[in-house]
Structure 1
Amino acid sequence: MASSSFLVTAAMVTVFAAVHLFIGRLTFLSAAPRSAWLSFSGGVAVSYVFLHVLPDLGVHKRAFASELGLAEAMAESMVYAVALLGLVVFYGLESTVRVSRAQSRAQGRGDRIGSELEWIHVASFATLNLLVGYLLLHRDQSGLSSLILYFVAMTLHFVTSDFGMRNDHVEAYQARGRWVITAAVVTGWLIGLAWTVPPVMIGFLFAFLAGGITLNVLKEELPEDRQSRFAPFIGGALVYASLMLLERGGL
């Protein structure tokens, strides 16, 4: 690996870690109605998924076909099925979290979730973070502009998802959760430095990431109690869509 690539991606993974560790200090994000920055970040993340991640699933379709011996149509269906699986898994997890919090309130124990569910929630985000860190070094598209678009989109996604996790877990996120997901994104980057994962495995994880990010962004923006702001959300989506279309067009 070139030293410049190492230094650039090392700086980027440091920013990822800083978001996880210090999101609690960004007190302006807790404003009501929902901070425009959170809605803008959600729009960016959704735009990145639909204009970069989902189209690139076609690349992984070929890996599924060649390495698993599948017909092209079946490989394509399987890739998108994995993306759907990611969305369903995270939806099920978020639904379980809401039920646990409601039961806790009904029992007079406050707005809390069970400790075992807390670790499942953190572990699921840690798994996504491993892949995000790895893909800093092993994306399908090379080049500095593609890397910057990926970095900015993932940074803003982390701002949105970490804010939501911090609200879900309160004390647990500050004491334990943030350290686990920080270690995960750094570990993913270190794995990328040392090893190259087989293409079919990256295809599986990449598709799962697409579904997971889509659900995580929408669950932060859509509920009524979030008091989300549509204008910043659509603004983030349009701005980032324009940048990606320019990058794809070689401008």
Structure 2
Amino acid sequence: MFIASLLVIIGFMFVHIFTDTIKYLHEKLTNRLMSLVSGGSIAYVFLHLVPELTHYQEVAEKELLATWLENIDYVTYISALLGIAVFYDINQLSEKSERENRRRENLTRPSKPIFVLEISAFAMYNVLIGYLLQELSGDNIGAYIVYFIVFSFHFIANNRILHLTHEDLYTRAGRWILAISVLVGWILYETTHASELTLAFLSSFLTGGVVLNILNDELPEEKKSSFPFFLIGMAFIAILLQIITP
């Protein structure tokens, strides 16, 4: 699946580079798109990523863990919680910096150090998505298609928030860093070998990050959301997953 995975990665890079064109869409159309995106992403998380946590836990139970880890129940679920905590903390720092800048300097965005922190975190996040592409999709071409659709949705929503938050800093540097980072993750997977246990922990951490970022960034405000489009996105991905699942 070398070619399939490479095409998905190239597609992700284009999504990162050109997401900011959404700002030219009519607000009503943008809100419908975000509702569609959020519905599809949530379906993927709860029908694919979250159920996989059970598999990751089984992998961890079979492996020889450090003594202090052996005494912890559901260790991969805790890895997922860590993913949630990391991205929640980064989001809080960004919002706090934006509030302080607005109050002290009349700026509408967080400070540059926060931009560096947030882009670095999402670059790491993208490396994981690129790295785990083949691991989470296997030899099923349909799974690659769903992975591309869902994470393209996810990137569109995340990038839109990053662009609105950091403005020209994201346009000049952020989007290029994120585009390259997903390629770096794919290259790392092709050139290195990680144990099944390491892959289980990385996948669990990614699942937590995806859950937090979907709930935080993708769900539109109630007054701006479109339930029909949310439902269409959810149903579309749910049906695709049913079709490709052996």
State whether TM-score is above 0.5: yes
Call closer, same or farther: CA 1:163–1:16 in 2, change over 3 Å. same
Distance 1:21-1:66 versus aligned 2 partners, 3 A rule: same
State how many pairs are aligned. Answer: 245
Paired with 1:147 and 1:76, the residues of 2 have a C-alpha distance of 32
- Indicate conservation of the 8 Å contact 2:22/2:30, yes or no: no
**Aligned equivalent of 1:182:** 179
> Is the partner of 2:136 in helix, strand or coil?
coil
8 A Cα contact 2:137 2:147, kept in partner: no
Question: How far 1:35 sits from its partner (Å)?
Answer: 2.3
CA RMSD of aligned residues (A): 2.4
Unpaired segments ≥5 residues, structure 1: none
Separation in structure 2 between the aligned mates of residue 75 and residue 247 of structure 1, nearest angstrom:
35
TM-aligned CA deviation for residue 22 of structure 1: 1.1
Identity %, equivalent residues: 28
1:63 to 54, 59, 68: 59
**Aligned match of 1:159 in 156, 166, 178?**
156
Contact 1:46-1:237 within 8 A present in 2 as well? yes
- Give distance in 2, aligned partners of 1:74 and 1:54: 23
Match of 1:208 in 2: 205
Shift of 1:226: 8.0
5 Å matches for 1:1-251? Answer: 5-29=1-25, 31-32=27-28, 34-69=30-65, 77-139=74-136, 141-222=138-219, 224=221, 227-248=224-245, 250=246
8 A Cα contact 1:138 1:192, kept in partner: no
Shift of 1:75: 6.8
Q: Which moved more, 1:9-18 or 1:31-40?
A: 31-40
Q: Is the 8 A contact 2:41 2:150 kept in 1?
A: yes
Q: CA deviation at 1:55?
A: 0.8
Q: CA deviation at 1:121?
A: 0.5
Distance 1:80 1:208 in 2: 8
| CA–CA distance in structure 1, aligned partners of residues 98 and 14 of structure 2 | 28
TM-score (norm 1): 0.88
8 Å CA contact 2:45–2:207 kept in 1: the answer is: yes
Comparing 11-20 with 34-43, greater Cα deviation is found at 34-43
1:190 alignment partner AA: I
1:224 and 1:25 map into 2 onto residues whose CA distance is 21
Q: Distance in 2 between matches of 1:167 and 1:212?
A: 20
Consecutive unaligned residues of structure 2, counting only runs of 5 or more, are: none
Residues in 2 aligned to 1:221 and 1:137: alpha-carbon distance in whole angstroms: 25
Q: Which moved more, 1:33-42 or 1:194-203?
A: 33-42
Return the offset for 1:113: 0.5
Letter in structure 2 aligned against 1:211: G
2: distance between equivalents of 1:30 and 1:215? 27
Q: Which amino acid aligns with 1:156?
A: F
Change (3 A) 1:225 1:117: farther
What SS does structure 1 have at the residue aligned with 2:225? coil
TM-score, normalised via structure 2 length: 0.90
> Structure 1 residues 112 and 118, CA, compared in 2 at 3 Å: closer, same or farther?
same
Deviations 1:102-160 (A, max 9, x none): 11111233211111111111111111111111122222643111222112111111111
